[in-house]
């Protein structure tokens, strides 16, 4: 459990990158899910930036993971509740049957306007990616030519 301030921008992408790389290396789905969680756990702790996770950071967070959400329940495993026929533990159940009317799927963040401030982080990063080696030597005209203003 991470109890410090977090910045979730890019957490889903980080998770997916870690899980996909693990699967591509031939590991199981379970291991991929675990590594993806570690990668996301590293990146969410990097505030006000699109976080990255180095192999050493991933190994570090993975050495001593804290999987305990509610320690008082973890003291007695007999209190644990699971989704039927799975090993997925239910941390907090529904208080009543949910009446879901809308769902948001994070396909890529670029289609989401719900993340206020997201563009301020991503725009400079994408300009740097577009300009590559020319980023530091680009004059104002070239820099702004590559900047697209939103609607």
Chain segment 136-145, per-residue pLDDT in tens? 888 888 887 7
Q: Cα 37 to the chain's mean position, in Å?
A: 8
Q: Sign of the CA dihedral 44, 46, 47, 48? A: negative
Helices 29-43, 11-24: crossing angle, 10 deg rounding: 140
Q: Are residues 108 and 59 in the same domain?
A: no
Between CA 141 and CA 43 the distance in angstroms is 33
Burial of 107 (0-12, 13-18, 19+ CB in 10 A): exposed
Tell me the residue range of the domain where 39 lies.
Answer: 11-68
Domain boundary among 44, 68, 92: 68
3-class DSSP assignment, residue 143: helix
pLDDT of 39 higher than 90:
yes
Does some domain include residue 151?
yes
Between CA 77 and CA 11 the distance in angstroms is 30
Chain segment 73-84, per-residue pLDDT in tens? 666 777 778 888
pLDDT of 91 higher than 60:
yes
Q: Are residues 64 and 109 in the same domain?
A: no
- Against a cut of 0.85, is the pTM above it? no
More confident site: 21 or 7: 21
Does some domain include residue 25?
yes
């Amino acid at each position: 459990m991470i109890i410090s301030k977090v910045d979730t921008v890019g957490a889903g992408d980080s998770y997916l990158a870690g899980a996909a790389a693990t699967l591509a290396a031939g590991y199981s789905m379970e291991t991929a899910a675990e590594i993806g969680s570690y990668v996301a756990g590293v990146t969410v702790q990097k505030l006000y930036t699109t976080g990255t996770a180095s192999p050493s950071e991933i190994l570090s967070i993975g050495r001593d993971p804290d999987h305990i959400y509610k320690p008082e329940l973890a003291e007695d495993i007999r209190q644990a509740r699971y989704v039927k026929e799975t090993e997925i533990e239910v941390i907090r159940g529904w208080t009543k049957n949910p009446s879901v009317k809308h769902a948001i799927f994070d396909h890529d963040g670029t289609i989401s306007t719900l993340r206020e401030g997201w563009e301020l982080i991503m725009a400079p990063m994408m300009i740097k990616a577009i300009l590559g080696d020319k980023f530091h030597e680009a004059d104002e005209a070239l820099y702004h030519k590559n900047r697209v203003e939103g609607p």
